[in-house]
Amino acid sequence: MSKSFGRNHKATKAGNPFDSGGRGRRWRDRLGTGVFAIFTYFILACVFLIIGKITLTGAPVLFQNEAPFLNAEFFSKSPMTLHEFEDGEGIKRRLDHDRFVDFKKNNPNAVIKNEQTHSNAGGGILGPLVGTVLLVVLCMAIALFIGISTAIYLVEYATEGRITNTLRLAIMNLAGVPSIVFGLFGFAFFCLSPIFPVFTAVPDWEKSLLAIPLWPSDGYLSFQGWGSSLLAGGATLAVMVLPIIVAACEESLKAVPEGFREASLALGATKWQCIRTAVLPYAAPGMLTASVLGITRVAGETAPIMFTAAVVAKGKLPWENLEGSGLYWLSSLLTQKVEALPYHIYSVSKLQSNEALDEMRYGSVLVFLFLVIGFAMISVVLRSRYRKKLKW
């Protein structure tokens, strides 16, 4: 910094009184700014690299050159074993397990040489995809029902006091608890504690606390815990997003101007009419944003479902081959283990690498990544549109 600004300004060449004269400060400024800029661009480069690598490697699996351009089989088949072999003419062939069985049945005399099997390298990702969708739907149904009601109670009904403050504090702190801890809780609570009932023809007498025979059907309502199941996984995930949902819904309820409530009440509306007609319609967009945000959060989680819901391979879709009908059918649908996309990725990540498996893995990861990022983007768009609309 020029110490003699003012007195000496004629000394500067162009005669500009505002020339700083010294170069030191400007260079230090540029250097500092440059370093920070490099840091920022470096982060972006890393992300770009990771997403780019996954996209480039995974895209060939998902897309193809001819119509319909999307590899339909990848989305319509579940993971299965891939058979790699040389046929009679010495041509290398790769067949999914179902095709391989057909092939052998149709060509009983076919020569199969150098057969190699790669587990999870064939088929597609239908099973895990369906499992993840079911888990997310179930989780959001539970979480939104309880979360929105809790927020309505806190904002519209509850007297501010110790209880509401405790609840708020607990909710705020729960958001930072590691997801694996929720998994532990879900395992002990939903899977094992015998306070959760199932409808079943054959109760697990060892675990069952109480089995009520349901006459006239020959089944029971058995309190034996949900076990590792779709329902337990969904409930665990719901507990995990509950803090996020409650906090976000509370915020959007509070954003509805007090004037709406006053006007509605002054016109003779009951409390519930006031909430239903003068509060909820205006808080709904915010709640929608919250739920999409919640979906982003749960769809990406692996740890809480690892031992509460997920299974490596199933070989059938959740609704296939279920026993019983009516309530029993529903109960066995909800209390079975499911495949889930993140857990599928986890289990195939640990397998020994080979060409066919790598394609499948990158394909699955790409689908999963874009699914989750897609939801995140929707929530960002929703939020900005909602903010713009919010001008009362």
Partner 1 sequence: MTNSTSTDHNADDSIIAIEDLSFSYDMGKTNTLRNISLKIPEGRVTSFIGPSGCGKSTLLRCLNRMNDLVETSRITGGRIEILGQDINAPDVDVIELRKHVGMLFQKYNPFPKSIYENVAYGLRVQGVRRMDILDQAVEESLRKAALWLEVKDRLDSSALELSGGQQQRLCIARTIAVKPRIILMDEPCSALDPIATARIEELIAELQDDFTIVIVTHNMQQAARVSDQTAFFYLGELVEYADTTTIFGNPKAKQTEDYISGRFG
Partner 2 sequence: MANKFQSKGRRLFGVGIQGWIKGFFRGNAGVSMGVIFLIFLFLVFEAVRFFPDHHRELKLVRRTGQEYVDFLRREARGYQEISSYTNQAYFQELDARFGVQRGLVDGFEVLQGMIEDGAEPDIEALAEARDVSDPVALRAAEKRYWGRVGEIVDSAERSSVDSFGRLSTEESAWQSLLQAARRYDAVEEETPDIILAAEAGMESGMAEFRKAKAMISSAGSDLKNLRDRLVRIASATRKDAETNYSLGMRKKALLEGSGKLDGKAREEQVAEAEALKVLDQFPFEVRVQPIIDSHDEHQKAAEHLKEQLKKGIAALPTEFSSEASKRLVMKIREAEPAYLEALDQSLEEASEWTWNEEVNWSSSVSRFFLGKEWKTASGGWRQLYGFLPLFTGSVTISMIALCFALPFSIGAAIYVNQLSSRWERSFMKPAIEMIQAIPSIVLGFFGIMVLGNMLVEYSDSPWVSWLPGFPITERLNMLNAGMLLALMAIPTIFTLCEDALNNVPRSFSEASLALGASRFQTVQRVVVPAAISGILAAVLLGLGRIIGETMVVLLVAGNRIAMPDWGDGLGIITQPSHTMTGIIAQEMGEVSEGTLHYRALFLIGLVLFVISLLINLSAQKLTKRLGAHV
**Footprint of partner 1 on 145-184 (CB under 8 A):** 159-160
Do the Cβ atoms of 200 and 331 come closer than 8 Å? Answer: yes
259, 315, 326, 374: which one binds partner 1 (CB under 8 A): 259
278 binds, among partner 2, partner 1, none (CB under 5 to 8 A by kind): partner 1
263 binds, among partner 1, partner 2, none (CB under 5 to 8 A by kind): partner 1
- Separation CA 116–CA 55 (nearest Å): 28
**Residues contacting 372, CB < 8 A, separation 6+:** 296, 299, 300
What does the chain come to in residues? 392
284 binds partner 2 (CB under 8 A): no
**Footprint of partner 1 on 302-341 (CB under 8 A):** none
Q: Report, in Å, the least distance between residue 164 CB and partner 2.
A: 9
185 binds, among partner 2, partner 1, none (CB under 5 to 8 A by kind): partner 2
302, 333, 356, 359: which one binds partner 2 (CB under 8 A): 302
90 binds, among partner 2, partner 1, none (CB under 5 to 8 A by kind): none
Binding mask 33-52 for partner 2 (x = CB under 8 A): x-xxx-xx-xxx-xx--xx-
Which tokens sit at 357? 């498996």
**Footprint of partner 2 on 230-259 (CB under 8 A):** 239, 242, 246
> Which phi and psi angles does 124 have, rounded to 5°?
-145, -150
Q: With contacts defined by CB under 8 A, name the span among 57-65, 92-100, 111-119, 253-261 that binds partner 1.
A: 253-261
In degrees to the nearest 10, what's the CA dihedral of 303, 127, 300, 191? -40
227, 286, 300, 363: which one binds partner 2 (CB under 8 A): 300
29, 102, 115, 262: which one binds partner 1 (CB under 8 A): 262
Binding mask 265-304 for partner 1 (x = CB under 8 A): xxxxxx--x---xx---x----------------------
Partners of 9 in the β-ladder: none
**Footprint of partner 2 on 66-125 (CB under 8 A):** none
Partners of 83 in the β-ladder: 95, 117
For helices 341-349 and 126-152, angle between their N-to-C axes, nearest 10 degrees: 130
Q: Look at residues 346, 368, 363, 354 and name the one whose alpha carbon lies nearest to residue 82.
A: 354
- Separation CA 318–CA 321 (nearest Å): 8
72, 137, 170, 284: which one binds partner 2 (CB under 8 A): 170
- Separation CA 287–CA 326 (nearest Å): 33
Segment holding 163, helix H or strand E: helix 162-174
80, 135, 171, 279: which one binds partner 2 (CB under 8 A): 171
Nearer to partner 1, 263 or 377 (CB): 263
- Separation CA 334–CA 164 (nearest Å): 34
Q: State the first-to-last Cα distance of the chain, in angstroms, to the nearest integer.
A: 50
> Which phi and psi angles does 44 have, rounded to 5°?
-60, -40
Nearer to partner 1, 137 or 263 (CB): 263
264, 296, 335, 336: which one binds partner 1 (CB under 8 A): 264
178, 213, 257, 315: which one binds partner 1 (CB under 8 A): 257
52, 88, 178, 281: which one binds partner 2 (CB under 8 A): 178
**Helix (DSSP H) and strand (DSSP E) numbers for the chain:** 14, 6
- Separation CA 335–CA 225 (nearest Å): 10
54, 129, 139, 140: which one binds partner 2 (CB under 8 A): 54
For helices 355-389 and 341-349, angle between their N-to-C axes, nearest 10 degrees: 140
Residues in contact with partner 1 by CB under 8 A are 159-160, 257, 259-270, 273, 277-278, 282, 392
